[in-house]
Amino acid sequence: QVQVVESGGGLVQAGGSLRLSCTASGLTFDDYAMGWFRQAPGKEREVVSCINWSGTSTSYADSVNGRFTISRDNAKNTLYLQMNSLKPEDTAMYYCAAGYGGSCSYADYEYNYWGQGTQVTVSS
């Protein structure tokens, strides 16, 4: 059974940093591209960043480019999102997702498995 579990969320002041982690089990991790998505109250889910199976290709939403860094450790079946210079508008539930085939994608329908999310709240 595949499980995707996020951790590392919390409450932080504007300008601060957080590091999210996502551990996947029950699948061959390096067969999958990984993505981070977020959803704020009253808003649609949006892509934050994605990374290909090997970690050699990454992509970021304009709103986080230059502030967030996605990475993965295939030996540990773990995905990371380092978030720096956080802003109140980054407040959302953050979701990790795994997409078979290995290529980075912004389309949520390309992802097969999703975690339950971890809450990030940035105070002003």
pLDDT in tens, 27-56: 999 999 999 999 999 999 999 999 999 999
Looking at residue 7, its pLDDT comes to 98
Looking at residue 102, its pLDDT comes to 81
Of 70, 63, 108, 65, nearest in space to 90 by CA: 63
**Each residue of 48-105: pLDDT tens digit?**
999 999 999 999 999 999 999 999 999 999 999 999 999 999 999 999 999 998 888 8
| Mean pLDDT (whole number) for 102-122 | 94
The C-alpha torsion from 23 through 90 and 16 to 48, rounded to 10°, is 40
In three-state secondary structure terms, 113 is strand
Looking at residue 73, its pLDDT comes to 98
Looking at residue 19, its pLDDT comes to 98
- The Cα-based distances of 31 to 55, 65, 101 in angstroms read 12, 26, 6
Looking at residue 90, its pLDDT comes to 98
Sign of CA dihedral 48, 62, 68, 89: negative
